[in-house]
Structure 1
Amino acid sequence: MLRAGAHHFAADGIDAARTRDIIATAGQANDSAITYHFGSRAGLLEAILRAGVTRMEPARTTP
């Protein structure tokens, strides 16, 4: 769901990205999947941003 969310937030814009599109792209059948896993749409966005920071951290700390 993180990849699907990142795709739609980047392609459609944070405000325009639809949760139904994110859920469908992620292959989820339940419309409540974002709320269940992340608490809210904002929680999904926060998880995406945290994952990105975590991936960049090694490069940031390498001399």
Structure 2
Amino acid sequence: MKLLILDLDGTVRRPKSGAKFINNPHDQEIIPEAQRAIAHYKSQCWIIVGATNQGGVAAGKNS
């Protein structure tokens, strides 16, 4: 088994609005280069997991 763990924020996804943090599920987009890399690993049968440290929570954006 091969496992790829990816940091989501700023590595795989970014806010569409240009804001510092994603505050709404509709305000996110995948970074095209990340999408291509993920597709490559998926084609090689890797298990892919996304992780986040929830930087918005640390900045007081917890609602």
Shorter-normalised TM-score: what interval?
under 0.3
Higher helix share: 1
TM-score (normalizing by structure 2): 0.27
TM-score (normalizing by structure 1): 0.27
**Structure with bigger RCO (C-alpha 8 Å, 6+ apart):** 2
